[in-house]
Each structure stands twice: as C-alpha cells, then as structure tokens.
C-alpha cells in the first residue's frame, strides 16, 4: 500500500506540469540560499504567494524543493566566499573555504552536494516509513492528551531555540496571544479586534510569517547593506583531481554521511532544534570519529560530509512531527504549515485519511528533488560564485517589494500589508534582543489547537483541571517534557562549548 502510493506519487511528480514546479523550487531555493542573509525559510515564505492558485501537490513539492535546495545553497557561499548563506551552513565554512583556498573549491562543492543529497534522501525514507504509524497512534489522543502535547511542543521549542528558556517562553506566549485575535470559536464573540473588521477573521498566518521572518530580516540587514563585501581571490585547481570527488574521498565520507544523517533525523524530528544545530552536532561527530581530526578546519572532506549530511537530513525529518502530529518543528516547518493551510489541508494525523495521495506525492517530490538538485548543481555550480556575490543594494529592495505583493495577493487587501509591517517591527525588536522569533510563530500556529483542546477537555471534565494528569499518556508526555527539557538544555550548553572550541 505504502509503496504503491509512493510509486503513484513518483508518477504524478514526474509529470511535466508538476515537475516544472519542483525544478523552479530548486532553482529559487539554490539562488536564495546562496545569497548571504537570505535563508531557506525566507525563500519559502516569499514563494508561497506564487502558489495560491496552483494545486496542493505542485505547491508543496515546489516549497519543499526550495527548502532543501536553500539549505544546501547556503554551503555554496560558505565555500566560495567564506560566508554561510544560511545559519545551517555555518559549520561548512571552516573546511569548505579551506579547500577553496587550496584551489579545491569544486571538490568542496561536490562533497557538500553529495553529502546534502544523501542526508535528505535518508531522512525522506525515514519520513515515509514512520510518519504514518505515528499519525495512526496520534488519532487515539483525546483533547487532554493533545493539550499536554501542545505544552510539550512549546516548552521544547522554547528551550531549544535561542539562548534563554525564559525568552523562548515569552515569545511563545506572544504567539499564543496573537493566535487569540479574531472570533472566539465557541461563543463567536470578537477578541482583540479593536474595532477593525479585518481582524475578526483573525491574523493570517502568511501575513505574520512574511512580516516576522522576511521583512524583519530586511530591517535587520538594512544597516549592513552599505558595507563592502569580501571578495576573496581563490586559486585555480593545480591538477584535475583537485576538482574531482574521488573514490578516496568517497571512502572517507560515506560513514560520516550515514552517521550525520541519523543525527540530522533525530534533531529534525524533535521540535525546535533545526538544521543550524544539526550541522554543528554532525560536524563534531565527524571530527570525533575521524582518523585525522587534526585536519578538520584545514580542508577535510569529512568535515563537509558530517555537517552537510546532518543539516539536509533535517529537511525531511522535520516533516515527521508536522505531518503526524500537526506540530511544526522549526521555522521552515512553520512556514510549510502556512502553505498546507493555504491549500486547504490541515497537517496532522487526519491528513493521512483526508488526502493520503497528496502526502505521498510530497514524499515522492522530496525524494526526487535530491536527484534534480544533484543534476542542477553539478552543471551550474560555476554560476553560483556570481550569485553569492550579488549586491545587497539590489537584493533587499527586491525582497521588500516581494514581501508587500506576497501579503497583498493573499486577500487583495492593503490592511494585511499594515499588519505585516506591524509584525516586521515586532520580529525586528524581538530578534535584535535575542528573543527567538520561532517560538512566537509556533505559538501562533499552535494557539487555536491548544485552546480548542484545552477547552474541550475542561468541558468534558466539568472544569476539573486534574483531567490533564489522569491518563497514562498525559503522564508520559509530562515525563518526556521534563526529560527532553533537561537533555536539550544540557546539550545546548555542550554545543556552545563546542562552537567556542572549534
């Protein structure tokens, strides 16, 4: 059943009218990922407005392809200009740029490409195998269990994102409050609408996402645009082998691909961690297990393999909580939730019953996009040195224009643009003061599900708050919350020490 639906998915995605969107997503993601300051998440936030009027399969494969390609694209600028295009490529700079300075930039790009494609492919297969069984189990959750699951997700995301748990939770509370705007779901009384008719239908997720993620990033980068860009001179390859990914490189890399892909899958499946952490953990694991760890940072192919497999493995794995539980794992998944909702699909356990073929088309698209990404980069990598050096004075004004048109296109309303500008300021202030914006976004997404389930549980128990501690499943979630909280906080402390040491 699973495999036949997956095969159908491949057939659907391979059709020219769908394949073109997958290809387009890869190109846009690669270009945006390769430009320092523009992230893979920003790429998908800006693409979503273009997907309002296409089919769910076309839209979702395009966005996932952009997300995967954007995550890889960051490593191109990391290798070529020593500036990670995305935070997820930070660990690639050390070895990637060291190789480039030795005239081996092409070898570094090929090493990063192979590692990234392997990582994403691995996690896509894991996603295909385990998302549906988890979703089937999640269907047994009652409202009390779902409420505790929301507490679990928010706490874990708040503890994992940013440096401070308190700041993360404050961001989560703000998101929950913004999620209350609109009509009350039970009594249909207006809440926080301040007399604005537009607000009675609530704040649109895409408006918040584009404001708090994309436009706030432009406001953040605005002060740095005028600064001169570094244009390091890279030597030409000394011999043919300097541009090739040889059999010896493969022998050195394959174990790191596998190990880091597992690491990336675990990190991606846990809410809140994301690719930026995965790349460092993957890099550290590769360094620890390498025969010559002293070469790390001086141009080790294994360093690139460890970091790149881990960060791209997150792309598939963070779809696991999204599809099976309806909980976005990081900002990328939060933006993807917006795309699902725009298409009339609600991510969560029911999606496997309501639109199973769309889900399998998405799986097929995710798997196929790695092969297409491989082909595109293999033949066009020379072009990306120029892309990575595109001037900010050209890029950021264009992003501003896209932010405005993307928000306007949603409802043909300029009121949405004002709301977007408001969230841009909120996102700008929060991120300047190191409050993680991701917790606000995820709090906003989870707010209606959280409130609906909490109210239903309380109504069924006649107002008894003990309902959240009654079933064994609730207790299991509370225990997992505490254990995960302690583990993540301990892990983050270790990761900080690790980054200081590298």
Partner 1 sequence: MSSKESQLKESRMEQLAGVFFALLSLLLYFVIIPWQIESVRGAHPSPRSFPEVIAALLFVLAICLFISGWCKRSRPNQKIFRMSQEEIRQSIITFLVMTGYTLLLYVLPYIPVTMAALGVLMWIYGQRKWWKLSLAMLILPPSIYMAFTSLLKLRLP
Catalog residues that contact partner 1 under the rule CB under 8 A.
50, 52-53, 164, 166-167, 169-170, 173-174, 176-177, 180, 184, 186-187, 189-194, 215, 218-220, 222-227, 391-394, 396-398, 400-402, 404-405, 408-409, 412, 414, 417-418, 421, 424-425, 428, 432-435, 451, 454-455, 458-459, 463
Judged by beta carbon, residue 455 or residue 470, the one nearer partner 1 is: 455
C-alpha 152/C-alpha 270 separation (Å) is 11
Closer CB to partner 1, 226 or 291, in the complex? 226
Shortest distance (Å) from residue 190 CB to partner 1: 8
Based on CB atoms, which residue is closest to partner 1, 298 or 455? 455
The Cα 28–Cα 164 span in angstroms is 34
d(CA 158, CA 170) in angstroms, rounded, equals 9
- 349: which DSSP letter? T
Nearer to partner 1, 109 or 410 (CB): 410
Dist. CA 385–CA 73, nearest whole Å: 11
Give the count of beta carbons closer than 10 Å to the beta carbon of residue 292: 11
Q: Residue 288 or 432: which CB sits closer to partner 1?
A: 432
Residue pair 356/5 in contact by the 8 Å Cβ criterion: yes
Angstrom distance (rounded) from CA 131 to CA 315: 14
- Report the residue number, 22 or 126, with the smaller CB distance to partner 1: 22
Find the shortest distance in angstroms from Cβ 224 to partner 1.
7
Question: Which one, 193 or 243, has the nearer CB to partner 1?
Answer: 193
| Dihedral (Cα; 216, 220, 225, 226), 10-degree rounding | 130
Q: CB-hemisphere CA count at 13 Å for 26?
A: 21
To the nearest whole angstrom, how small is the minimum distance from the Cβ of residue 433 to partner 1?
A: 6
Rounded least distance, CB 111 to partner 1, Å: 35
CA distance 24 to 373: 11
Least Cβ distance, residue 394 to partner 1 (angstroms): 6
- In the chain, the N- to C-terminal Cα span, in Å, equals 47
CA torsion sign for 111, 114, 117, 122 is negative
The nearer residue to partner 1, 169 or 320, going by C-beta atoms, is 169
Which CB, 160 or 313, lies closer to partner 1? 160
139-157: buried (b, 16+ CB within 10 Å) or exposed (e) per residue? eebbbbbbbbbbbbbbbbb
Q: Smallest distance, Å, CB 415 to partner 1? A: 10
Q: Are 444 and 175 in contact (CB under 8 A)?
A: yes
3-state secondary structure of 190: strand
What count of residues does the chain have?
502
Looking at residue 213, what DSSP letter applies? I
Shortest distance (Å) from residue 166 CB to partner 1: 5
Contacts of 303 (CB under 8 A, 6+ apart): 91, 92, 94, 95, 283, 286, 287, 296, 297
Q: How far is the CB of 466 from partner 1 (least distance, A)?
A: 15
Residue 3 or 194: which CB sits closer to partner 1?
194
Q: How far is the CB of 495 from partner 1 (least distance, A)?
A: 17
Return the structure tokens found at 142: 């009652």
Give the Cβ contact number of residue 465 at 10 Å.
10
Q: Which is nearer to partner 1, 19 or 408 (CB)?
A: 408
> CA–CA separation, 207 vs 283, rounded Å?
36
Task: For partner 1, give the closer residue by CB, 341 or 404.
Answer: 404
Q: Shortest gap between Cβ of 200 and partner 1 (angstroms)?
A: 12
* Cβ–Cβ < 8 Å for 309, 338: no
Q: What's the min distance (Å) between Cβ of 140 and partner 1?
A: 24
Q: How far is the CB of 235 from partner 1 (least distance, A)?
A: 29
Q: Is 271 exposed, middle or buried (0-12, 13-18, 19+ CB in 10 A)?
A: buried
Neighbours of 315 (CB within 10 A): 32
């Amino acid at each position: 059943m699973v495999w036949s639906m997956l095969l159908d998915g491949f057939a659907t995605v391979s059709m020219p009218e769908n394949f073109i969107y997958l290809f387009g997503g890869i190109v846009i993601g690669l270009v945006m990922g390769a430009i320092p300051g523009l992230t893979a998440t920003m790429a998908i936030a800006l693409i979503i407005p273009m997907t309002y009027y296409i089919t769910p399969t076309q839209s979702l494969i395009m966005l996932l392809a952009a997300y995967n390609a954007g995550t890889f694209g960051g490593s191109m600028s990391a290798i070529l200009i020593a500036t990670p295009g995305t935070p997820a490529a930070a660990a690639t700079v050390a070895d990637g740029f060291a190789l480039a300075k030795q005239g081996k930039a092409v070898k570094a790009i090929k090493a990063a490409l192979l590692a990234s494609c392997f990582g994403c492919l691995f996690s896509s297969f894991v996603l295909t195998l385990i998302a549906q069984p988890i979703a089937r189990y999640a269907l047994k959750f009652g409202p009390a269990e779902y409420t505790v699951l929301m507490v679990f997700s928010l706490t874990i995301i708040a503890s994992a994102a940013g440096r401070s748990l308190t700041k993360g939770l404050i961001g989560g509370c703000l998101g929950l409050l913004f999620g209350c705007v609109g009509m009350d779901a039970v009594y249909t009384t207006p809440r926080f609408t301040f007399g604005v008719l537009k607000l009675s239908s609530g704040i649109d997720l895409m408006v918040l996402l584009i404001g708090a993620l994309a436009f706030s990033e432009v406001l953040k980068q605005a002060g740095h645009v005028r600064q001169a860009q570094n244009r390091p001179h890279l030597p030409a390859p000394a011999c043919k082998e300097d541009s090739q990914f040889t059999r010896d490189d493969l022998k050195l890399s394959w174990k790191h691909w596998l190990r880091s892909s597992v690491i990336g899958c675990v990190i991606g499946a846990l809410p809140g961690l994301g690719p930026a952490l995965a790349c460092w953990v993957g890099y550290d694991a590769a360094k620890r297990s390498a025969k010559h760890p002293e070469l790390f940072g001086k141009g080790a192919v294994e360093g690139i393999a460890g970091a790149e497999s881990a960060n791209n493995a997150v792309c598939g794995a963070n779809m696991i909580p999204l599809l099976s539980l309806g909980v976005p794992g990081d900002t990328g998944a939060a933006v993807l939730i917006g795309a699902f909702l725009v298409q009339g699909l609600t991510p969560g356990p029911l999606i496997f019953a309501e639109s199973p073929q769309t889900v399998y088309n998405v799986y097929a698209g995710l798997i196929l996009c790695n092969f297409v990404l491989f082909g595109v980069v293999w033949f066009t990598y020379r072009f990306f040195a120029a892309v990575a050096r595109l001037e900010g004075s050209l890029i950021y004004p264009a992003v501003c224009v896209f932010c405005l048109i993307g928000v306007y296109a949603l409802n043909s309303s300029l009121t949405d643009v004002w709301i977007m500008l408001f969230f841009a300021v909120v996102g700008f202030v929060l991120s300047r003061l190191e409050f993680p914006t991701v917790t606000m976004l995820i709090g906003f997404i989870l707010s209606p599900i959280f409130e609906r389930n909490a109210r239903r549980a309380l109504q069924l128990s006649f107002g008894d708050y003990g309902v959240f501690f009654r079933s064994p499943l609730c207790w299991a979630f509370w225990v997992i919350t505490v254990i995960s909280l302690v583990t993540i906080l301990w892990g983050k402390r270790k990761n900080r020490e690790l980054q200081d040491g590298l």
